[in-house]
Amino acid sequence: MQKRFESIPMIQATKLLLEEKSPRATFLYSQEMNIPEKRMIQKEAKVLSRSFNTYQTPIPEVHLLSSDTYHVMVTNAGGGYSRWNKLALTRWHEDTTRDNWGTFVYIRNEHTREYWSNTFQPTLKNPEKYEVVFSEGRAEFRRRDNDFDTYTEIAVSPEDPIELRRLTITNRSSASRTIEVTSYAEVVLTDAPTDAAHPSFSNLFVQTEIVEKLQTILCSRRPRSQGERSPSMFHLMKVHEAQVLTVSYETDRMRFIGRGRSVVSPEAMQSLGPLSGTQGSVLDPIVAIRQSILLESETSVTIDIVTGISGSKESTLQLAEKYQGKWFTHRVFELSQAHSQVALKQMNSTSKVALFYDQMASSILYANSLLRSDAASLIANHRGQSGLWGYSISGDLPIVLFTIKNIANMSMVQQLVQAHSYWHQKGLEVDLMILHEQAEGYRHELQEQILAMVTAIGGKNVFDQPGGIFVRASDQFSPEDRHLVNAVSRIVLDDSSGLLESQIDGKRAMKKPVPKLKPLRGILKTRKAQASTPSLELQFFNGLGGFSHDGKEYVITTGKGQATPAPWSNVIANPHFGTVITESGTSYTWMTNAHEFRLTPWYNDPVSDTSGEALYLRDEESGEYWSPTNSPHQGNEPYICRHGFGYSTFEHTESGIYSNLSVFVAQKASVKFLLLTLRNDSQRTRRLSATNYVELVLGSIREKSAMHLVTEFQKDSGAIFAQNWYNTDFAGATVFLDATGSNHTMTGDRTEFLGRNGTIAHPDALTKKNLSNSTGPGFDPCAAIQVPVLLEKGEEVVVVFKLGAATSAEEAKTLVSRFKSIESVKLALEEVRSYWSQTLSAIQIETQDAALNTMANGWLVYQMLSSRLWGRSGFYQSGGAFGYRDQLQDVMALIYAEPVLARNQILLCAAHQFIEGDVQHWWHPPTGKGVRTHCSD
């Protein structure tokens, strides 16, 4: 009867009142009235905390905030995630270098139009003062920017699935000011792996709704199957004790960020005014609320930003209504701290120990070399993920490894088991592996004590489960498997290297920095940037692009303030290797399978057109740098991109330097070329450098594979090699980056290249004299080569960068040697042009429709063959698999153009039939893994 009574919505909305103690006096108050804030009396004499006065720590330092079901992780730069059980509310990716995913708040002084963020991320603007304090149940950020102090508190409610971010902004100027406060987060509402696998597809099912009377945005995911659960998320902003001038909303990321921009400087922060109010079935969902606030001199305003979730729209609206009042939001901080202290007591732990567990969590969530095995051990591993399965470990979760030899050190086991329990309570899934090494006669006794200790703290159900504890004798492992376990563990500890705290603290050291580049002269002054892009006579010109007169190229013009409405792509591939190019530059590259073995990451972001590949030119005397492509570091002058059959070119002139970049893939080799021609059109000798940078994946998703990559500089060839032995299906496969010329410098360290909290548009490496020549294991991996270029007045020089892959290191060396000369690269380009000219000219049509003629006489067959059959990939989808029906239909276009390829595909599909009459619906080469649907084909 009690449960039935509590199920009534009206009773649920007032349930909190039934839980309160009877007040000493009865009075009425509104949600908007000021109620004195009374802090709960702390039982601890002093609240312990971790403090930081910088965001540039070697790795992101994390703090875990949690109730039983709702979990928040926040870093000292402001990144982090929000999750409800295993459901991701907001988008987050593990990125030790950039740490640029999370829930953010932008603040703008309307008087000066300057803007910044309440944390260092995402705007990356240096404050006058910056302080971060992590304590049990709370994260705090303080910063000073010009005449404003911003104080942010973050907590998770233990009684409702919500998080609270409270901002207190103080106007220190001598005059009243109007400020804009804008929240921002990308909405996911599914498990993180599903979102990471195909973000654009995942986004399609999120619905948004603005509820103005509650100053709230609701989000829900449309069910894709009968009976699928569809919870609702809400995001609200409530201002207390100040005059609100306007309130506006945005749920469309394209409108907020703007094409080609990022969270660092989104379109929504480039001008004053309200957000668009877009809602409904947006293609890229976000939650953003903007409030314009009048703030008097030397006064403060409190802004509560609440995000939460519930099982239905009705209950979600009830939560949003509940947290309109300041009293209820203030209660979150009190209950959060009390809940954390109770939870620690139940674990027989303390705040000091909990903060230490958070410190360890930094290396669990953000893989780095600080607490891993030594370099020799990482290099020694040649086993893949499947080698863990025999020990009941999946390898899908982070692993913490502890080795114990002395039974007298059982207290360290206790501490780690408590840490594992703490992480589990905070929503962080970790596999804890305890290896025991002791003489034969005492081994059984040590194992029994470990098992008893684990059972006493974690219970019997924690053994040998995903996110559980694995107790093993060291001699059960072969030497190869021991190398594997050491290499895949994010934290490696033992009982012979001192206390756990000393092992953790003793390994935190900064890498020796590379010297800064010292400009010798100012930036060369050339003619003023053109107001418009060059005038080109093109067919079917639409204002940005059109076909060349012969129809064999699609030409796109871009420049400052001029972007295409969506990425315009060219899929360039041969049967075993390929890449996607957009009008902004190179996007991503793969070998064999565009899903299973990506050389560089597929970001699937049509808004920012994010890429893990970049090319830069730098004037070595002035320090000025730009990209020969429209992205990532756009120059002042226009760009001309030409997409052709098997190639794309980019033309640009900047600061007196003309560049022409041709990007193509060899017709019969797994190599992509960047053929860069530079000409000095200025009136003096120029010292330049050309730098090619690629983020390495060597798998499907970068955050899964990055920590397992090992890079190596090949002295004989001058190339950088990279391998990922953890990828069982491509064990031994070798990726390389090479360049022509001499006196190169290089690096395999992405953190060095971009800089901590850096960006690909403004990499830290281009402010340095050279690259460090650092390669090896344990880095956030990349491959970057910098080539010096000396150009006399009027001189033209060619530089070539080569990104390729092979099934072994020996094969990779052969490829590097084969394309060492510039002449061999130019010959490869001619082979590409010749192949496509011959293939696409096999069938030609002539009709009265010029547009149909242009598409049919080349482009349709080219796209089918390069993208659909060979690449099986594109900008919006990167499947990599063969579809039984898909590719059979595709090759119908090749009956006359490439009949041998059509026949081969028919035979390949025939080999994937079953005697029962059905077929394998789709499969991934080279393993053949796929799906059998039992549909009759």
| Band of residue 227 on the pLDDT scale cut at 50, 70, 90 | confident
Concatenating the DSSP letter of every residue in 606-634 gives TTT---SEEEEEEETTT--EE-SSSSSS-
Ordered by where they begin, the domains of the chain are 2-16+43-353 (2.70.98.40), 369-505 (3.40.50), 545-840 (2.70.98.40), 881-936 (no CATH)
For residues 60-74, average pLDDT = 97
pLDDT tens string 637-651? 999 999 999 999 999
Residues in the chain: 937
- Residue 45 clears pLDDT 80, i.e. is over it: no
- Residue 270 clears pLDDT 60, i.e. is over it: yes
Instruction: Output b/e per residue, 549-585; b: 16+ Cβ within 10 A.
Output: eebbbbbbbbbeeebbeebbbbbbbbebbbbbbbbbb
Report the predicted TM-score, pTM, of the whole model to 2 decimal places.
0.93
Cβ-contact 133, 120 below 8 angstroms: no
Cβ-contact 98, 754 below 8 angstroms: yes
What gap in Å lies between CA 647 and CA 571, rounded to an integer? 9
What gap in Å lies between CA 649 and CA 108, rounded to an integer? 40
What gap in Å lies between CA 708 and CA 697, rounded to an integer? 10
Bridge partners, residue 305, by sequence: 165, 237
Q: What is the pLDDT of residue 662?
A: 99
Cβ-contact 92, 102 below 8 angstroms: yes
The residue type of 596 is E
pLDDT tens string 865-923? 999 999 999 999 999 999 999 999 999 999 999 999 999 999 999 999 999 889 999 99
| Band of residue 438 on the pLDDT scale cut at 50, 70, 90 | confident
What gap in Å lies between CA 896 and CA 907, rounded to an integer? 17
Residue with tokens 């290396």: 363
Bridge partners, residue 937, by sequence: none
- Residue 468 clears pLDDT 50, i.e. is over it: yes
Non-local CB neighbours of 453 within 8 Å, separated by 6+ positions: 410, 413, 414, 417
| Band of residue 228 on the pLDDT scale cut at 50, 70, 90 | confident
| Band of residue 523 on the pLDDT scale cut at 50, 70, 90 | low
pLDDT tens string 813-851? 999 999 999 999 999 999 999 999 999 999 999 999 999
Read off the tokens for 396.
């899908």
Nearest to 347 by CA among 251, 275, 420: 420
